[in-house]
Amino acid sequence: MSKIQMTTPLVEMDGDEMTRILWQAIKEKLLLPFVDLKCEYYDLGLPYRDQTNDQVTVDAANAIKKYGVGVKCATITPNAQRVEEYKLKEMWKSPNGTLRAMLDGTVFRAPVVVKGIAPSVSTWQKPITLARHAYGDVYKNSELYVDGAAKAELLVTYPDGRTDRKVIHEFTDSGIIQGVHNTDKSIASFARACFNYALSLKQDLWFSTKDTISKIYDHRFKDIFAEIYETEYKEAFEAAGIEYFYTLIDDAVARVIRSKGGFIWACKNYDGDVMSDMVATAFGSLAMMTSVLVSPDGKYEYEAAHGTVTRHYYKHLKGEETSTNSVATIFAWSGALRKRGELDNLPELCAFADRLEASTLGTIEDGIMTGDLYLLSTLENKKKVNSLEFLDAIAAKLA
């Protein structure tokens, strides 16, 4: 059997702990037998990040800018305990944060839906993809405690000395105030990433804010989205038969719950933080959640939404058996290979990505699954297998 060929390299970013072990096994069992993998390899595992003073993360981000598509294994974000454990030179920054900043990207998260794992919301039949704006608002705030009667004001000073001020509140007693901001540039990048992603998935895009209450702040988000849609995307949306739809966050929440799914929901930073946790939980499991970072100029980085599954890794190191779910990591690979296939016009590579996903879901629907899914699945003839047995079962189906 001749292997499927690739033309442009995929940027491969290896990672840490249990997911690093799964990464290697996925390549050996599910990819290399079928695809003549063309990858540019970056080792984002913590020891090599430390050895290169984190230069490897920067190099990987530049490679994604150059080639357009990357796939990333989960990585450790060091804290004080990790500095000790790995004898690090420094507490290196989160690789995901570095990649997001360098690619100026928006993160889209979508659940993998499979028979036997029913969403808590019974009307949901298709995944809901959540797009979260990852800059500003309450995450970059300035807060003050006001310890007694006082007048609190907003003050803006321009370089030419011009000022703008507004009373927040005339306090008669103690209280609190908070200043938040966003920038037109960041909102516009977020909007373009959402419109591009909706076109690439051929799904409707919903966007919601609280513009009725926040008549300047949230309204600015609504206006920027509307203007970019009208001037840059309307024709392409109509040609693709998809819709851009703005509604108040309250209305969006009600509609999402009553929906069948199958659309992208764009949210401001805080709404996206809370709603993505709710949607993920309602769909079943974090181990079944995929994530893709999309830049405004159309670069893609695919990964699993979960971490390095440290607890399972320590069991593995003690020689104990693990049953770690590799679905989100497999779907990161299939997503990246499919995107590479689309960009390079390689229909066979896209078809392979489809088969890889179908074989993965088919294995679970046959009743073969890892422990986390075993606990959730409503299938009658289900069997719990270990980490590698699960991959072997998928490989057998794929072959």
Place of tokens 């499919």: 338
Nearer to ligand NAP, 249 or 368 (CB): 368
- Compute the least distance from the CB of residue 277 to Mg ion, in Å: 4
- Compute the least distance from the CB of residue 134 to Mg ion, in Å: 12
Helices (H), the chain: 17-26, 46-51, 55-67, 80-85, 95-103, 184-201, 217-228, 234-240, 249-258, 269-283, 310-317, 327-343, 347-365, 371-376, 387-398
List the beta bridge partners of residue 12. Answer: 41, 71
What is the number of other CB atoms lying within 10 angstroms of the CB of residue 394? 24
Contact mark string toward ligand NAP, 94..113, x via CB under 6 A: --x-----------------
Q: What angle do CA 54, 132, 221 make, to 5 degrees?
A: 120
Nearer to Mg ion, 111 or 296 (CB): 111
Nearer to ligand NAP, 100 or 222 (CB): 100
Question: What is the length of the chain?
Answer: 399
| Chosen from ligand NAP, Mg ion, none, partner binding at 277 (C-beta under 5 to 8 Å by type) | Mg ion
Q: Among 264, 372, 390, 395, which residue interacts with ligand NAP (rule: CB under 6 A)? A: 372
Q: Among 6, 64, 74, 205, which residue interacts with ligand NAP (rule: CB under 6 A)? A: 74
Paired tokens of 314: 């320590």
Contact mark string toward ligand NAP, 227..266, x via CB under 6 A: ----------------------------------------
C-alpha to C-alpha distance for 76 and 50, rounded to whole angstroms: 12
C-alpha to C-alpha distance for 303 and 250, rounded to whole angstroms: 31
- Compute the least distance from the CB of residue 310 to ligand NAP, in Å: 4
Q: Which residue is nearest to ligand NAP (CB)?
A: 307
Is 5:34 a contact under the CB 8 Å cutoff?
A: no
Residues with Cβ within 8 Å of 260's Cβ and at least 6 positions away in sequence, in order, are: 123, 124, 125, 126
Query: Is residue 308 a contact residue for ligand NAP (CB under 6 A)?
Result: yes
Query: Is residue 386 a contact residue for ligand NAP (CB under 6 A)?
Result: no
Which of these segments, 101-109, 156-164, 227-235, 307-315, binds ligand NAP (CB under 6 A)?
307-315
Residues with Cβ within 8 Å of 143's Cβ and at least 6 positions away in sequence, in order, are: 176, 177, 178, 179
DSSP helix/strand/coil, 179: strand
What residue ranges bind Mg ion (CB under 5 A)?
273, 277
Nearer to ligand NAP, 75 or 208 (CB): 75
Which of these segments, 57-65, 68-76, 165-173, 210-218, binds ligand NAP (CB under 6 A)?
68-76
Nearer to ligand NAP, 76 or 275 (CB): 76
DSSP helix/strand/coil, 44: coil
Q: Among 287, 332, 356, 391, which residue interacts with ligand NAP (rule: CB under 6 A)? A: 287
C-alpha to C-alpha distance for 103 and 80, rounded to whole angstroms: 27
Query: Is residue 286 a contact residue for ligand NAP (CB under 6 A)?
Result: yes
- Compute the least distance from the CB of residue 312 to ligand NAP, in Å: 6
Paired tokens of 196: 């591009």
Nearer to ligand NAP, 242 or 286 (CB): 286
Query: Is residue 129 a contact residue for ligand NAP (CB under 6 A)?
Result: no
- Compute the least distance from the CB of residue 274 to ligand NAP, in Å: 17
Nearer to ligand NAP, 210 or 384 (CB): 384
Intra-chain end-to-end CA distance of the chain, in Å:
11
State the amino acid at position 1 in one-letter form.
M
Nearer to ligand NAP, 307 or 362 (CB): 307
C-alpha to C-alpha distance for 94 and 78, rounded to whole angstroms: 7
Query: Is residue 394 a contact residue for ligand NAP (CB under 6 A)?
Result: no
- Compute the least distance from the CB of residue 26 to Mg ion, in Å: 27
Sign of CA dihedral 312, 313, 318, 321: positive
Q: Contact positions toward ligand NAP, by CB under 6 A?
A: 74-77, 96, 286-287, 303, 306-311, 324-325, 372
